[in-house]
Amino acid sequence: MANSAQAQKLVYLVTGGCGFLGEHVVRMLLQQEPRLRELRIFDLHLGPWLEELKTGPVQVTAIQGDVTQAHEVAAAMDGAHVVIHIAGLVDVFGRASPKTIHEVNVQGTQNVIEACVQTGTQFLVYTSSMEVVGPNIKGHPFYRGNEDTPYEAVHKHPYPCSKALAERLVLEANGRKVRGGLPLVTCALRPTGIYGEGHQIMRDFYHQGLRLGGRLFRAIPTSVEHGRVYVGNVAWMHVLVARELEQWAALMGGQVYFCYDKSPYKSYEDFNMEFLGPCGLRLVGARPLLPYWLLVLLATLNALLQWLLRPLLLYAPLLNPYTLAVANTTFTVSTNKAQRHFGYEPLFSWEDSRTRTIRWVQALESSAQ
């Protein structure tokens, strides 16, 4: 616990605090950061659940705003000690234009950095992504890699390009002088595929399985492993980094950390079945039902249809050449850097993470009836 001198004095700002990860970070901060005086939640779309948080001992301030608007970011940040910058456009399906993805993810991040400098906010935690590293467009496997594993990071897709650029901006900003003359301390967290309560893609797979009579059809070989991490542990890592950044500025400033926990290494589909299976879905096929070349053809066809239909409607299915390549390339992380640098241990065991996620999917089922 904090002593009384440091109790309830800090102001935190969380951008993207109403998204999937953001909501978990907001709730985790309220539970685990006793020094909080005010928590500002900045998002393009504010969630109604914020209202229930406003009755607690911490002042919760909801700010509807856009990270691409520098003046809105600077106004929200004035007087904040720490900013956790989560807001981003997570789009690998072609819903948004490359320009919009760049504006939100890169220009938005630049605006956050400039606002730190302008307002004197000294600590910046950025939610990056494993996609900053890979999988690369050549489909090279990244097997049990860590932050220092050499890997040829070559991107073409707007989302990983934008996350890589934004991460670089954040790391390069470490040490810049903020208002008042103190140095900015920044670091970046790189989650692998996040899962847990609120995960939209899990929800989509669940509903697709229901539509297909309780079945999903295997598309990816079981041998392709995909790194996954529970949202509660990713949130906990953000809270810990934000808490420890001041004390360990020399060690942590300018660093990147993969987000990890004890979730098992499995293929993307087998991993999803850990939750969807107990909710009544079955994954059909011990091996992919369609040959890989046919999946590539279907993915290419989807991309072509998306392009042709764009003037009329938005066609953005889960399968496209990029998502197929990501799902079909091994990318797993094995590291203890966060433990060494700031004492991170997962807050939720694999069993807890699994149970919580299953309960959430089961609740989807009952709410759909």
Ligand X SMILES: CC(C)CCC[C@@H](C)[C@H]1CC[C@H]2[C@@H]3[C@H](O)C=C4C[C@@H](O)CC[C@]4(C)[C@H]3CC[C@]12C
Q: Which is nearer to ligand X, 37 or 140 (CB)?
A: 140
Q: State yes or no: residue 270 binds ligand X (CB under 6 A).
A: no
Spatial distance between the Cα atoms of 307 and 311, rounded to a whole number of angstroms: 8
Pair 103, 291: CB distance under 8 Å: no
Q: Are strands 193-195 and 142-145 parallel, antiparallel or unpaired?
A: unpaired
- For the annotated catalytic residues, the residue numbers are 159
SS3 category, 221: coil
> Per residue in 138-167, is it b (16+ CB within 10 Å) or e — as a string?
eebebeebeeeeeeebebebbbbbbbbbbb
Choice from 134, 135, 145, 193 touching ligand NAD (CB under 6 A): 193
Residue 67 interacting entry, from ligand NAD, ligand X, none, C-beta within 5 to 8 Å by type: ligand NAD
CB neighbours (10 Å) of residue 250? 8
Q: State yes or no: residue 327 binds ligand X (CB under 6 A).
A: yes
Choice from 131, 197, 225, 261 touching ligand X (CB under 6 A): 131
Choice from 53, 201, 290, 364 touching ligand X (CB under 6 A): 201
Choice from 12, 142, 258, 268 touching ligand X (CB under 6 A): 268
Tokens (6 digits) for 341: 């640098």
Tokens 């070349």 sit on residue: 293
CA proximity to 107, closest of 67, 73, 54:
67
Spatial distance between the Cα atoms of 285 and 12, rounded to a whole number of angstroms: 48
Choice from 119, 263, 323, 357 touching ligand X (CB under 6 A): 323
Residue 19 interacting entry, from ligand X, ligand NAD, none, C-beta within 5 to 8 Å by type: ligand NAD
Contacts of 300 (CB under 8 A, 6+ apart): 321
Q: Which is nearer to ligand X, 255 or 267 (CB)?
A: 267
Q: Which is nearer to ligand NAD, 94 or 191 (CB)?
A: 191
Q: Which is nearer to ligand X, 220 or 237 (CB)?
A: 220
CA distances from 324 to 74, 271, 355 (A): 39, 16, 28
Interface positions, 102-141, toward ligand NAD (CB under 6 A) = 104, 108, 127, 129
Q: Which x/- pattern, by CB under 6 A, does the window 68-107 give for ligand NAD?
A: x-----------------xxxxx-------------x---
Q: Which is nearer to ligand X, 110 or 302 (CB)?
A: 302
Least distance between ligand X and beta carbon 331 (Å): 8
Q: Which residues bind ligand X (CB under 6 A)?
A: 90, 92, 129-131, 193, 201, 219-220, 226, 268, 318-319, 323-324, 326-327
